[in-house]
Chains A and B, each alone.
Chain A
């Protein structure tokens, strides 16, 4: 694809995302117009805009906007994590969920909720994700190499262990409020999103995302494996651990604000590669924007389809993600999917 066509796609996706966020804010029990959304945002940014009724303003600014933005940022973060994991482990099945990262992050999150020190939640989720990653890769690593199959098997084991740990902790310690809070994580939801969640997610996506974008060329070099990457001038071990550590940080932050939302990191990179091609300099920006758009749509569905009841968004992403994944399996003919 030519450069201008790619930029066209990226621009179209970005515009759709911005419009989609705006429209998502208007949707809900109380009717809000796009103009009111713009007015409320403008007022808070100190722009001279039409004044908006106080009630509408607080619905937009306090409730819906933080939620929609959190969904967008989490979608971007998960899609980026998935794309990096798939390249670094050379495994089309890799995503934060499958390699145990988000299960590990959930253990960390549940621990601090039970202990009543929710303030440390992002740090705990990150520590959990990192521990799970180290455990998965050290099991998968035999004689210095990590094969794709081994990585998935090891991730499965760690995810199961982390799941059991989470259940164990809930079984012994959780009651009332903490129980509901925990259930939210396990199913994945951005319902409780606040401006604090937006800040955490935005910081993680901006900082780690920039680092990942700057590593795009190094990610390309992994296409033919470790030796080929080394012969192309990449310091394989340092690069791999730096990237996986970054992804653990990103996933930890995402899980801290939204729990374990599956399938975004698995599906989006495959779909976007079909458009952008495999080069990461093109893949990464587009996958971030599309991941954001996908989760904004999924979250809007989550809170409207069974109105007034609300589904955790993780259920929606799975309902959409599984059929898409099955389609991908059916369509891909390469040996990678054999």
Chain B
């Protein structure tokens, strides 16, 4: 599903969070949403998901405006994973993944956990390599397993667009790599907010770099992740080298000689 952002602006209580963000992302691409804390990454994801409405501008999926879709329709096309989501009741892994079927149920009498739903849920768990966890209680999973199950929940939603807000937060290195590897293998358009520039460089086709609510750079990792742009946005001094095997950019930071912040 191709995603077009057209001049998006958004403010909360008079504070501008996003200003005139425009971008166009092709079907099946994986896009990294980068920027310092408070740049507006999470807000942009919520606007794309249609959970918040932009003050001006529009998000369209394959030409159809997200704002004009009923919530349920939007939920059948777009899945959003928040940061650090935790349930308020004790759920099994299968319960969590079955939540993803909600937008697909008939409104009144859709049976909870019907056979079709369970089949979709199990195949989603298999996709993320978590089928063995199905009966486990969510609370007993490690952080990496929880994120995996969240992805399975999103996949059970059968979206064409997957939005992830800092999916690698709190994960160890191996869990980070395997999670992002999995996202790459899914047959969806994905947009994820990331803090780690090296992960973005290794796993994303496109980069959107936000700073203070403005889109300051966009393009391939090679085009965006240059010492000049990184220095300007993050206020750090760095070198960018080609990865010895993949050839994608690797960012090496200078020790904290810079006081940061432009």
Interface size class of A (residues with CB under 8 A): 20 to 34
Interface hit among A212-220, A241-249, A254-262: A212-220
Q: With a 10 A CB-CB cut-off, give which of B86, B92, B99, B110 has the most chain A CB atoms.
A: B99
Other-chain contact of A334, B71, B79, B139 (Cβ < 8 Å): B139
| Closest chain A residue to B85, Cβ basis | A224
Residue from B90, B99, B108 in contact with A232 in the complex, judged by beta carbons closer than 8 Å: B99
Minimum Cβ distance to chain B for residue A223 (Å): 5
- CB of B82 within 8 Å of the partner chain: yes
A91 touching B75 by the CB < 8 A rule? no
Give the segment of A13-21, A28-36, A272-280, A296-304 that binds chain B.
A272-280
The reply to whether A217 and B112 contact each other, CB–CB distance below 8 Å, is yes
Closest to A216 in B: B112
Per the bound structure, the CA–CA distance linking A276 and B133 in Å amounts to 20
CB atoms of A232 and B87 under 8 A apart: no
Inside 8 A of B46's CB, which chain A residues have their CB? 227
Contact between chains at B112 and A279 (CB < 8 Å) = yes
A232 touches B102 (CB 8 A): yes
The residue among A231, A232, A281, A335 with the most chain B CB atoms within 10 A of its own CB is A231
B72 interfacial by beta-carbon distance below 8 Å: yes
Q: How far is B49's CA from A280's CA once the two chains are assembled, in angstroms?
A: 26
Query: CB distance A235 to B71 under 8 Å?
Result: yes
- Whether the pair A277, B75 counts as a contact (CB closer than 8 A) is no
A232 in contact with B88 given A227-B51, A281-B111, A335-B139 (CB within 8 Å): no
Contact A233 B75 (CB under 8 A): yes
Decide yes or no whether B147 CB sits under 8 A from chain A. Answer: no
Distance (whole angstroms) from the CB of B30 to the closest CB of chain A? 19
The minimal Cβ–Cβ distance linking A126 to chain B, given in whole angstroms, is: 26
Residue in B51, B86, B98, B113 whose beta carbon sits within 8 Å of that of A230 in the complex:
B51
B residues less than 8 Å from A92 (CB atoms) = 88-89
Q: Which of A231, A234, A335 contacts B86 (CB 8 A)?
A: A335
- Nearest-neighbour CB distance to chain B for A220, whole angstroms, equals 6
Decide if A228 is an interface residue (CB 8 Å cutoff): yes
Q: Is B100 an interface residue when CB atoms closer than 8 A count as contact?
A: yes
| Chain B min CB distance to A10 (Å) | 14
Q: Is the interface of A mostly helix, strand, loop or mixed?
A: helix
Closest chain-A Cβ to B226's Cβ sits at a distance in Å of: 34
B101-141 CB mask vs A (1 if < 8 Å, else 0) is: 01101011011110000000000000000000000000100
Highest count of chain B CB atoms <10 Å: which of A216, A230, A232, A280: A232
| Contact present for B71 and A223 (CB under 8 Å) | no
Chain A residues within 8 Å of B89, by CB: 86-87, 92, 223, 273, 278, 336
Residue of B nearest to A332 (CB): B90
* In the complex, A90 has a CB within 8 A of chain B: yes
**Which residues of chain B in 45-100 are interfacial with respect to chain A, using CB atoms and an 8 Å cutoff?**
46, 49, 51, 71-76, 78-80, 82, 85-92, 95-96, 98-100
Task: List A contacts of B86 (CB < 8 A).
Answer: 224, 335
Contact in complex: A221, B139 (CB < 8 Å): no
B29 within 8 A of A: no
**Would you call A231 and B139 a contact (CB within 8 A)?**
no
A282 within 8 A of B: yes
Residues of A near B111 (CB, < 8 A) are 281
Q: Which of B49, B87, B88, B113 contacts A231 (CB 8 A)?
A: B49
B binding-site residues for A, Cβ under 8 Å: 46, 49, 51, 71-76, 78-80, 82, 85-92, 95-96, 98-100, 102-103, 105, 107-108, 110-113, 139, 157
Known: A225-B88, A228-B99; 12 extra A-B contacts, CB below 8 A, are: A148-B88, A217-B102, A217-B105, A221-B99, A221-B102, A223-B95, A223-B99, A232-B99, A232-B157, A233-B72, A279-B98, A336-B88
Tell me the A residues contacting B by CB distance below 8 Å. 86-87, 90-92, 148, 214, 216-217, 220-225, 227-228, 230-235, 273, 277-282, 334-336
